[in-house]
């Protein structure tokens, strides 16, 4: 959303959507200065047996075949069944109603709804 809001031909709606989802207008100049770096960031990171990805992965799909849209937005299918990859997936994007960390053998959900709960999560692996 931030990158969409930074695009030169951005409609006002893209910036409004970014701000509605927590984007701050006073961050925009710093983001513009580092736009190339932001655009180059990977959608996943692997460290040992852990795969870090914002929302999760599409279950049953090999990592190299995951679509960018899934690595940015997937929820339902990822949250309700094992993904089948040889990693423990560490993710955010979806928080529980009790704002606690989800720990399963195949995924760890660390989103604790900080914008609502005031509870920011760290995880030692």
Number of domains in the chain: 2
Same domain, 64 and 20: no
The DSSP symbol for 27 reads G
Question: 44 or 22: which carries more pLDDT confidence?
Answer: 44
Kindly report, residue by residue over 54-108, the tens digit of the pLDDT.
999 999 999 999 999 999 999 999 999 999 999 999 999 999 999 999 999 999 9
Same domain, 111 and 79: yes
- Can you read off the two tokens belonging to residue 95? 């928080």
- Rounded Cα distance between 38 and 85, Å, is 27
Q: Is residue 109 part of a domain?
A: yes
Could you give the strand order of the β-sheet that contains 102-103, starting from the edge strand earlier in sequence? Answer: 44-47, 50-53, 88-91, 107-109, 102-103
Same domain, 106 and 50: yes
Same domain, 73 and 100: yes
Same domain, 23 and 69: no
Q: Is residue 52 part of a domain?
A: yes
Q: Is residue 124 part of a domain?
A: no
Same domain, 25 and 63: no
- Can you read off the two tokens belonging to residue 24? 């701050």
Same domain, 51 and 92: yes
- Can you read off the two tokens belonging to residue 13? 């709606």
Share of the chain above pLDDT 90, in %: 86
Same domain, 113 and 64: yes
Domain boundaries, position 97:
44-117
Q: Is residue 125 part of a domain?
A: no
pLDDT score at 11: 77
Q: Is residue 59 part of a domain?
A: yes
- Rounded Cα distance between 90 and 86, Å, is 13
């Amino acid at each position: 959303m931030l990158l969409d809001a930074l695009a030169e031909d951005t409609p006002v709606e893209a910036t409004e959507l970014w701000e509605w989802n927590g984007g701050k207008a006073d961050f925009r100049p710093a983001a513009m200065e580092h736009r190339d770096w932001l655009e180059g960031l990977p959608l996943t990171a692997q460290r040992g047996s852990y795969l870090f990805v914002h929302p999760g992965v599409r279950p049953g799909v090999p990592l190299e075949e995951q679509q960018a849209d899934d690595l940015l937005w997937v929820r339902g299918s990822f949250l309700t069944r094992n993904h089948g990859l040889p990693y423990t997936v560490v993710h955010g994007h979806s928080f529980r109603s009790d704002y606690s960390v989800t720990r399963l053998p195949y995924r760890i959900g660390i989103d604790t709804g900080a914008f609502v709960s005031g509870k920011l999560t760290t995880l030692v692996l």
